């Protein structure tokens, strides 16, 4: 098997795997990922969730590629997710299950993702992750020091094939472009004591 | 005819009529023979009819059903002649040129027709004549057969109103003493046309055969349905799928012939105990590819109860759309479109096509109506929704009240049992309700929208309604 190319930037999700994001800012993380993936996008929201994406507020080029599935039950949601991961043309599948995924369900989703060569992103409640996930992100919105800065505090809490990390990102939600913000008062190299 | 059709479904003894509301009173639309004998006639007000005949039973007329009944009768009547057209709302006209001898002559043909219609419970009067106008006139005035060459004598005794002319012309003719067709037939044409219009002369010529008038039979809509009966009942899933694939091949060939594609396909299975089971699937776009349609049936066929076996299959395409022939095995783009349509079909069949949605832009400044959630199977993506104007949140939800808001914009507030402190706020952006559209959510008047960055992180979209002071949250920015 060919080795997979190393991710070029920290937020590249590994292809053909299912990832997880938690925290209050998880939908913003999902939107950035939607803007970064090519091809049709599928967002699976339970039918009773009040929040829906608003067309004019979505990043550039996401709105016309987005398909919204609103299944009525949890079983239908998992079925939809598996089916859309298996569908070859889909670029990214975002799903918001209500209950924690079992190991079996998580594993089935990984197999479906490998079969369809599709990337999946599961937006989970806090600490409701599945052990089968490839990476798990914790996402929070962060107050910015100046106006015009829309900061996000994204940390990688679990990574099966790499290191963990923590980033503060300035992403304004209009396109796929973002800037990494070094922490205030933090140096690139640890400062040596002068004596 | 309409009253007979209505009585066929639910029989009633005695005088019966269908009523139709015109203006602000009910009139008799169609009545049966018993009502006719009591002196009622068509077009009479219902109140008068009830005064004459108190035991009259009535039902409201259903014009759509009447039209459908006439269309099916027309299809049946094509057993007598290749060209059958409907004539008005309650008549049929058939061109029986050269076919009468197959039924033993014109008299036998007419007797056969009446016998069959009577058995079906339909009262009819019919006439055979050398011209379309002649047959039309005679059928409505007693019926019968006019022999070849005797058209003028046969029609001569009929009133002029039989000529398919309007009421005013008929009245004007009666005023000058021209009551019967025979009175008109020998008059010079030119003064007749000058006085009563060219329409009268045309109708007269058509009835007498001077002017040709063909029977224009409308073409039948192609029927997309195929069936198969089996000598022995089947029960295995693989057998049903095999039968289905044979039917699908035939159905898709027929669809291809008419350049149509199916949007819904229905499989009806008849069991040996006369019960029927039905599997219906929808397609995300018009399609006529047997293999891809068969794949969508797999789940439905898996769930049916075969009972003691299935001995007949019927496959129909109730909803079809035009589908031009296209290059098969196109590039990767076409293959991707096909795969996406298959994916939408399969999810739509499982969770319902109204739950597979797409976002479409809409012309409105009201945030919740600035986009549509449209079923993806029945809409096409509309690219190029440029972001312009004030910022909009990425997520929108029905407005939720804010508690313990202090100040304007609020410096601190509670929402979803969390405490927030405002760091900075942008606004206000005033949006007025659309006065031409009564939306219960906008009864509280205009709204001042603020983008509020909180110290805790979330960037929220709050609004204030000055006309009934209250703060609410409607969206969240990334």
Give the confidence band of A18 by pLDDT, cuts at 50, 70, 90: very high
CB atoms closer than 10 angstroms to residue B407: 11
CA distance B76 to A16: 60
Does A171 contact B394 at a Cβ distance shorter than 8 Å? no
User: Mind listing the domains of chain A with CATH numbers?
Assistant: 18-134 (3.40.50.300)
- State which H helix or E strand residue A69 sits in: strand A66-69
Q: Where are the alpha helices (DSSP H) in B219-368?
A: 237-257, 290-303, 332-351
The pLDDT of residue A190 is 59
Does B385 contact A67 at a Cβ distance shorter than 8 Å? no
Give the confidence band of A32 by pLDDT, cuts at 50, 70, 90: very high
Q: Does A159 have pLDDT greater than 60?
A: yes
State how far residue B232 is from chain A, nearest Cα, in angstroms. 37
Does B396 contact A51 at a Cβ distance shorter than 8 Å? yes
Helices (H) and strands (E) in chain A, counts: 3, 10
Of A52, A64, A87, the CB nearest to B373: A52
A87: chain B residues, CB-CB within 8 Å:
339-340, 342-343
**0.90 surpassed by complex ipTM:** no
Does B456 contact A143 at a Cβ distance shorter than 8 Å? yes
Superfamily grouping for domain B125-208? 5' to 3' exonuclease, C-terminal subdomain (1.10.150.20)
Cβ atoms of residues B358 and B381 within 8 Å? yes
The pLDDT of residue B362 is 87
CA distance B458 to A142: 7
Q: Does A114 have pLDDT greater than 90?
A: yes
Q: What is the layout of strands, in order, in the sheet containing B225-234? A: B225-234, B310-322, B260-271, B276-287
Torsion (CA) B313, B243, A79, A50 in degrees, nearest 10 = -30
Give the mutation candidate from A28, A47, A57, A81 for the B interface (greatest B CB count, under 10 A).
A57
Fold of B225-350: Dna Ligase; domain 1 (3.30.1490)
Measured N-to-C along each axis, helices B198-208 and B189-196 cross at an angle, to the nearest 10 degrees, of: 130
CA distance B294 to B277: 17
State how far residue A159 is from chain B, nearest Cα, in angstroms. 24
B159: DSSP letter: B
| pLDDT less than 70: residues of chain B | 328-330, 384-387
Please state which architecture CATH assigns to domain B2-61. 3-Layer(aba) Sandwich (3.40)
For B227-279, what is each residue's pLDDT tens digit? 999 999 998 999 999 999 999 999 999 999 999 999 999 999 999 998 899 99
State how far residue B332 is from chain A, nearest Cα, in angstroms. 10
CA distance B449 to B335: 45
Does B478 contact A53 at a Cβ distance shorter than 8 Å? no
Give the confidence band of A152 by pLDDT, cuts at 50, 70, 90: very high
User: In degrees rounded to 5, what are phi and psi of residue B440?
Assistant: -55, -30
User: In degrees rounded to 5, what are phi and psi of residue B236?
Assistant: -75, 145
Cβ atoms of residues A53 and B367 within 8 Å? no
CA distance A161 to B186: 105
CA distance B151 to B181: 11
Does B342 contact A47 at a Cβ distance shorter than 8 Å? no
The pLDDT of residue A192 is 61
The pLDDT of residue A146 is 83
Of B392, B423, B453, the CB nearest to A56: B392
> Residues with Cβ < 8 Å from A193, sequence gap 6 or more?
none
The pLDDT of residue A7 is 53
The pLDDT of residue A181 is 82
A70: chain B residues, CB-CB within 8 Å:
351, 355, 357
- State which H helix or E strand residue B281 sits in: strand B276-287
CA distance B408 to B418: 19
The SS3 call for residue B325 is coil
- 3-state SS of A99-133? CCCCHHHHHHHHHHHHHHCCEEEEECCCCCCCCCC
State how far residue B386 is from chain A, nearest Cα, in angstroms. 7
Does A56 contact B385 at a Cβ distance shorter than 8 Å? yes
The pLDDT of residue A179 is 86
For chain B, give every domain's residue range: 2-61, 125-208, 225-350, 395-477
State how far residue B401 is from chain A, nearest Cα, in angstroms. 14
Tell me what the pLDDT averaged over chain B comes to: 88
State how far residue B466 is from chain A, nearest Cα, in angstroms. 25
Chains A and B: how many Cβ contacts under 8 Å? 151
Does A60 contact B387 at a Cβ distance shorter than 8 Å? yes
Does A63 contact B343 at a Cβ distance shorter than 8 Å? no
Distance of CA B360 to the CA centre of its chain: 27
Contacts 24+ apart (CB under 8 A), B47-53: B49/B17, B53/B15
CB atoms closer than 10 angstroms to residue A172: 15
> Residues with Cβ < 8 Å from A194, sequence gap 6 or more?
none
Is B363 buried (19+), middle (13-18) or exposed (0-12) by CB count in 10 A? Answer: exposed
Does A31 contact B478 at a Cβ distance shorter than 8 Å? yes
Does A54 contact B396 at a Cβ distance shorter than 8 Å? yes
A143: chain B residues, CB-CB within 8 Å:
423, 453-457
- State which H helix or E strand residue B64 sits in: helix B63-77
């Amino acid at each position: 098997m060919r080795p997979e190319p190393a991710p070029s930037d920290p937020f590249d999700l590994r292809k053909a795997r299912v990832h997880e994001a938690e925290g209050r800012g998880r939908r913003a993380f999902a939107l950035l990922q939607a803007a970064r993936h090519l091809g049709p996008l599928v967002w699976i929201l339970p039918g009773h969730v009040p929040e829906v994406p608003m067309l004019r507020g979505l990043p550039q080029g996401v709105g016309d590629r987005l398909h919204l599935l609103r299944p009525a039950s949890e079983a239908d949601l998992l079925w939809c997710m598996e089916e859309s991961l298996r569908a070859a043309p889909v670029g990214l599948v975002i799903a918001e299950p209500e209950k924690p995924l079992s190991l079996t369900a998580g594993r089935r989703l990984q197999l479906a993702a490998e079969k369809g060569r599709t990337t999946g992103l599961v937006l989970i409640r806090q600490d409701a992750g599945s052990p089968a996930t490839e990476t798990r992100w914790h996402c929070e919105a962060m107050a910015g020091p100046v106006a015009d800065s829309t900061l996000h505090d994204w940390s990688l809490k679990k990574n099966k094939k790499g290191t963990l990390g923590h980033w503060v990102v300035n992403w304004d939600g209009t396109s796929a472009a973002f800037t990494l913000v070094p922490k205030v008062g933090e140096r690139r190299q640890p400062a040596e004591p002068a004596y | 005819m309409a009253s007979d059709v209505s009585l066929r479904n639910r029989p009633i003894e005695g005088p019966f009529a269908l009523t139709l509301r015109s203006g602000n009173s009910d009139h008799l639309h169609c009545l049966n023979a018993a009502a006719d004998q009591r002196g009622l006639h068509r077009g009479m007000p219902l109140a008068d009819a009830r005064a004459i005949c108190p035991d009259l039973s009535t039902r409201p007329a259903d014009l759509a059903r009447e039209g459908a009944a006439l269309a099916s009768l027309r299809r049946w009547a094509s057993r007598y002649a290749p060209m059958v057209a409907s004539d008005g709302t309650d008549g049929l006209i058939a061109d029986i040129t050269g076919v009468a001898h197959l039924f033993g002559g014109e008299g036998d043909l007419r007797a056969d027709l009446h016998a069959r219609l009577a058995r079906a419970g339909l009262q009819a009067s019919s006439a055979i004549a050398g011209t379309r106008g002649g047959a039309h006139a005679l059928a409505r005035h007693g019926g019968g057969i006019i022999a070849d060459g005797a058209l003028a004598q046969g029609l001569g005794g009929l009133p002029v109103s039989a000529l398919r002319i309007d009421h005013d012309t008929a009245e004007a003719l009666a005023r000058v003493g021209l009551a019967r067709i025979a009175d008109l037939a020998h008059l010079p044409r030119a003064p007749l046309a000058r006085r009563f219009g060219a329409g009268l002369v045309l109708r007269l010529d058509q009835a007498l055969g001077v002017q040709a008038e063909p029977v224009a039979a409308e073409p039948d809509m192609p029927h997309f349905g195929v069936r198969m009966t089996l000598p022995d009942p089947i029960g295995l899933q693989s057998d049903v799928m095999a039968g289905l694939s044979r039917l699908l091949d035939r159905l898709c060939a027929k669809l291809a012939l008419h350049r149509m594609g199916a949007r819904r396909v229905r499989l009806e299975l008849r069991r040996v105990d006369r019960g029927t089971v039905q599997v219906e699937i929808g397609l995300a776009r018009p399609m006529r590819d047997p293999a891809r349609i068969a794949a969508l049936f797999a789940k439905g066929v898996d769930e049916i109860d075969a009972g003691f076996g299935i001995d007949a299959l019927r496959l129909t395409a109730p909803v079809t759309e035009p589908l031009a022939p296209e290059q098969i095995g196109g590039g990767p783009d076409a293959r991707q479109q096909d795969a996406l349509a298959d994916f939408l079909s399969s999810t739509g069949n499982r969770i319902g096509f109204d739950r597979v949605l797409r976002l479409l832009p809409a012309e409105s400044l009201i945030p919740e109506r600035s986009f549509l959630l449209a079923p993806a199977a029945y809409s096409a993506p509309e690219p190029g929704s440029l972001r312009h104007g004030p910022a909009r949140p990425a997520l929108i939800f029905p407005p939720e009240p804010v508690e313990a808001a202090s100040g304007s914009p609020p410096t601190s507030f509670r929402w979803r049992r969390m405490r927030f402190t405002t760091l900075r706020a942008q606004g206000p952006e005033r949006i007025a309700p659309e006065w031409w559209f009564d939306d219960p959510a906008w009864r509280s008047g205009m709204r001042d929208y603020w983008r509020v960055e909180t110290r805790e992180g979330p960037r929220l979209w709050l609004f204030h309604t000055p006309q009934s002071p209250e703060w609410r949250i409607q969206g969240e920015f990334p």
